[in-house]
């Protein structure tokens, strides 16, 4: 075969450059058309106002830059066969993503109505920002997307989650310069320190500096090249400045060069066995004009390169004749007749640079990660379960330590597949889960001193004091077909409230997209719960993450409060096997009494709530009062209150109910876990008073009970924002949920015994107050509290 001559190579390169330029023109045209037009989308006739959309939505400002990156990545795929997943941080630049997906044929693959014809483009334009169509930002309905950018800050950490343990994958991540101002993005730049070049893929961030946010300059765009280079070198990156304001073709060369540098790092680590101590992964700093290609000036106001191009340039086209004329001139400047044939199909030279088949960015399998998911190899629970054969409360264990032994075996079983990770904000040891480090190390790739423990380049436990990073990593990890767990202190889970909100919406919408395959559950394990944070004080006491989760769509959420180790094992087994949900599990780490054997725990968790006959009188039949509880500490206090009442009020008829799946309290029409009406009546009656001791804020239980018969008979006690550095019992008493407070509340709702119950309630109150006075003198809880055990 004859070699290509220098002249032929130059001609080939020139042709490729011409084709790439045509592709970018076509994509920019389509993106602008999606924002403005509902008819005459290829300007076959003079533009009329009736061709315009009644509402103009979308952010044009970042669209040209997104297409510059997309086109460069297409070239990389065509030339080198690279496996590329794209994460787009500026989500409101969705018109650009749609334009590229339409041109490459991915939209048509999923929906023939969006074919690469004039009719298909018209349909896409009519769906964009229309009721039941595509929103103004990215969403699960957009192929190839694992992050929608509805809220800024999370793209980079999500991209890293997608790259971990995917050695052949390049995750390109466009970070807007407004997004780069956020705290989550600032923390995410450190993620390279956790990326193993042997087992992992790579992330290529493109910081898109186009100058402006909605109406003011971005911080990064005001920095000089020297300042930007110094900043990102300090983070550990190899930054490359790319000025595309006059020559967008530079982006293609920059992406090629960055990929070459990436493969050099990986080859050195994989083939030569010599991974660099501080691998400086390349990143691009892309300078472009805001809304590059838009009219430079209209009506005496500059548009291109200013914040006036951020959202919809020429937003007054419906009323302003000058803007209307400028819009038509702008759209025609792309020369659509050169780009599309008579049927509206992109001409061959426009598509010459597009990859085909599964190589298309929008068709990347990781963009629909449920297709890659395989069931997690879960070990049986029996070898890890706590034996309570001698009766409820006779065995003691730390629920988290028991769970950790089981998780350790999962780590062993997934050693070759590497599809299970734990992301945690530096709290594994504190939360008694550190035995998993016997199976895998803490991921870290940079050199550390000799005293650091359990660190490994290929570790699958990821600890960093950034809840944002943990959440973003885990989302990207799960969205690309893997399994994981997020343990964290209860009080600080609320750091990611907003990320939870976004991801819950993502899952809800994903369930409505026919071609999306469900991904593994995102499961939070909240430990170091507030009732045992009395030593840290008020700042560490906050169960509000439960309340936030309960505001989300019930089809994608669940809240679980296992009362002991065996119910925790059963709960986690179910959640790690399931898909499509966000789950919240609250569990204790301290050694405590264990109540249910494994089979009883299975039955209890299957029901979600049940009568504990052994703690009730007369097996819980015909109760005059119900004591209910949800959570480990509330379970202990409820049982202790039942013990008091049984001892001091002979003949009292009590039923003790434990709730492990909080959402069973909701009517079945409001939550898929909601207990059937007949079962709810069997458990809680219809007019019997219920004293409910809850782990969190009482409002959460009241919210769920709305719609149940006579909800006002439920007297819910829980955390009411009282706390300090004190003892466990004092913290309970200060919030009115100690055993004595529960017994007092119960006595107040027993019918027909006013004299006896009044005196008894007063004696309980006096005793509680004496205990609190004593613990203030000694600094510790009295032995009658710490030494209490359930007596059958």
Report residue 511's pLDDT band, with 50, 70 and 90 as the boundaries: very high
Nearest of 416, 393, 752 to residue 595 by alpha carbon: 393
- Residue 174 CA to residue 90 CA, distance in Å, equals 7
pLDDT greater than 80 at residue 1: no
pLDDT greater than 70 at residue 558: yes
Model pLDDT, residue 9: 40
pLDDT greater than 90 at residue 548: yes
| Domain definitions of the chain by residue range | 15-371, 382-586, 608-786
Given this structure, which CATH class describes domain 608-786? Answer: alpha beta
- Residue 542 CA to residue 106 CA, distance in Å, equals 46
pLDDT greater than 80 at residue 2: no
pLDDT greater than 50 at residue 254: yes
Tell me which of 51 and 275 has the higher pLDDT. Answer: 51
Please report the sign of the dihedral spanned by the C-alpha atoms of residue 603, residue 604, residue 608, residue 611: positive
- Over range 21-40, report the average pLDDT: 98
Please enumerate in sequence order all residues whose Cβ is within 8 A of that of 249, keeping only pairs 6 or more positions apart, or say none.
Answer: 17, 20, 21
Nearest of 413, 462, 515 to residue 163 by alpha carbon: 462
> In CATH, which of 3.30.70.330, 3.30.70.3340, 3.40.50.620, 3.40.50.970 is domain 382-586?
3.40.50.970
Given this structure, which CATH class describes domain 15-371? Answer: alpha beta
Kindly write down the DSSP assignment for every residue of 758-781, as one continuous string: HHHHHHHHHHHHHHHHHHHHHSS-
* Residue 136: count of CB within 10 angstroms of its CB: 20
Report residue 6's pLDDT band, with 50, 70 and 90 as the boundaries: very low
Q: What is the 3-state secondary structure (H, E, C) of 662-685?
A: HHHHCCCCCCCCCCCHHHHHHHHC
- Residue 198 CA to residue 276 CA, distance in Å, equals 11
Report residue 72's pLDDT band, with 50, 70 and 90 as the boundaries: very high
Model pLDDT, residue 43: 98
Kindly write down the DSSP assignment for every residue of 304-330, as one continuous string: TTSGGGSS-TTTTTTT-HHHHHHHHHH
Nearest of 667, 717, 723 to residue 690 by alpha carbon: 717
- Over range 653-670, report the average pLDDT: 97
Report residue 792's pLDDT band, with 50, 70 and 90 as the boundaries: confident
């Amino acid at each position: 075969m004859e070699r290509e001559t220098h002249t032929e190579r130059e001609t080939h390169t020139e042709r490729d450059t011409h084709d790439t330029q045509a592709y970018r023109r076509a994509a920019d045209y389509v993106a602008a058309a999606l924002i403005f037009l509902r008819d005459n989308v290829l300007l076959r006739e003079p533009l009329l106002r009736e061709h315009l959309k009644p509402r103009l939505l979308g952010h044009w400002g970042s669209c040209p830059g997104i297409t510059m990156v997309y086109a460069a990545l297409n070239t990389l795929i065509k030339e080198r066969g690279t496996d590329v997943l794209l994460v787009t941080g500026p989500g409101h630049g969705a018109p650009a993503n749609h334009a590229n997906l339409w041109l490459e044929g991915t939209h048509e693959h999923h929906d023939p109505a969006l074919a690469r014809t004039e009719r298909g483009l018209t349909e896409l334009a009519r769906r964009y920002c229309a009721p039941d169509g595509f929103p103004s930002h990215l969403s699960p309905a957009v192929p190839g997307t694992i992050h929608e950018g509805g809220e800024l800050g999370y793209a980079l950490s999500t991209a890293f989650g997608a790259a971990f343990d995917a050695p052949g994958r390049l995750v390109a991540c466009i970070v807007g310069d407004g997004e780069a101002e956020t705290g989550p993005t600032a923390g995410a730049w450190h993620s390279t320190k956790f990326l193993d070049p042997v087992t992992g893929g790579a992330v290529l961030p493109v910081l898109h500096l186009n100058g402006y946010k909605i109406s003011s300059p971005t911080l990064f765009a005001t920095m000089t090249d020297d300042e930007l280079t110094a900043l990102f070198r300090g983070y550990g990156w190899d930054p490359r400045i790319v000025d595309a304001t006059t020559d967008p073709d530079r982006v293609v060369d920059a992406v090629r060069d960055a990929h070459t540098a990436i493969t050099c790092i990986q080859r050195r680590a994989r083939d030569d066995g010599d991974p660099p101590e501080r691998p400086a992964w390349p990143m691009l700093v892309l300078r472009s004009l805001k809304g590059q290609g838009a009219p430079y000036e209209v009506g005496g106001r500059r548009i291109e390169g200013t914040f006036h191009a951020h959202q919809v340039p020429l937003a007054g086209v419906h009323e302003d004749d000058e803007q209307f004329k400028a819009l038509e001139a702008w759209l025609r400047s792309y020369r659509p007749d050169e780009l599309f044939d008579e049927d509206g199909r992109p001409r061959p030279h426009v598509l010459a640079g597009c990859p085909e088949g599964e190589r298309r960015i929008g068709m990347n399998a990781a963009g629909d990660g449920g297709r890659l998911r395989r069931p997690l190899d879960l070990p049986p629970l029996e070898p890890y379960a706590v034996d309570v054969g001698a009766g409820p409360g006779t065995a003691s264990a730390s629920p988290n330590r028991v769970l950790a032994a089981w998780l350790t075996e999962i780590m062993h079983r997934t050693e070759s597949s590497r599809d299970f990770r734990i992301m945690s904000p530096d709290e594994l040891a504190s939360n008694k889960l550190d035995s998993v480090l016997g199976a895998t190390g803490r991921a870290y790739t940079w050199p550390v001193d000799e005293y650091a423990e359990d660190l490994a380049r290929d570790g699958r436990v990821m600890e960093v004091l950034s809840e944002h990073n943990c959440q973003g990593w885990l989302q990207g990890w799960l969205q690309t077909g893997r399994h994981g767990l997020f343990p964290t202190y209860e009080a600080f889970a609320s750091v990611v409230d907003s990320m939870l909100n976004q991801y819950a919406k993502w899952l809800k919408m994903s369930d409505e997209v026919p071609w999306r395959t469900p991904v593994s559950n995102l499961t939070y394990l909240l430990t170091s719960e507030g009732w045992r944070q009395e030593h840290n004080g008020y700042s560490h006491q906050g169960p509000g993450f439960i309340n936030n989760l309960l505001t989300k769509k019930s089809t994608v959420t669940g809240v679980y409060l296992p009362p002991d180790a065996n119910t925790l094992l059963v709960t986690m087994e179910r959640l790690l096997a399931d898909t499509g949900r966000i789950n919240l599990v609250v569990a204790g780490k301290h050694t405590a009494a264990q109540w249910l054997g494994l089979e009883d725990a299975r039955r209890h968790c299957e029901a979600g709530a049940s009568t504990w006959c052994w703690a009730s009188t007369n097996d819980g039949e015909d109760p005059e009062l119900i004591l209910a509880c949800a959570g480990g500490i509330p379970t202990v206090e409820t049982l202790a209150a039942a013990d008091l009442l049984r001892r001091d009020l002979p003949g009292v008829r009590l039923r003790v109910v434990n709730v492990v799946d909080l959402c069973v309290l909701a009517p079945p029409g409001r939550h898929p876990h909601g207990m059937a009406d007949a079962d709810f009546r069997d458990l809680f009656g219809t007019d019997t008073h219920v004293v409910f001791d809850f782990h969190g804020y009482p409002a959460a239980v009241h919210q769920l009970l709305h719609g149940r018969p006579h909800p006002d008979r439920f007297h819910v006690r829980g955390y009411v924002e009282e706390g300090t550095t004190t003892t466990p019992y004092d913290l309970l008493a200060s919030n009115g949920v100690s055993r004595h407070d529960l017994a007092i509340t119960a006595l107040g709702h027993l019918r027909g015994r006013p004299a006896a119950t009044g005196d008894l309630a007063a004696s309980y109150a006096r005793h509680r107050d004496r205990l609190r006075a004593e613990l203030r003198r000694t600094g510790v809880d009295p032995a009658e509290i710490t030494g209490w055990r359930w007596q059958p």
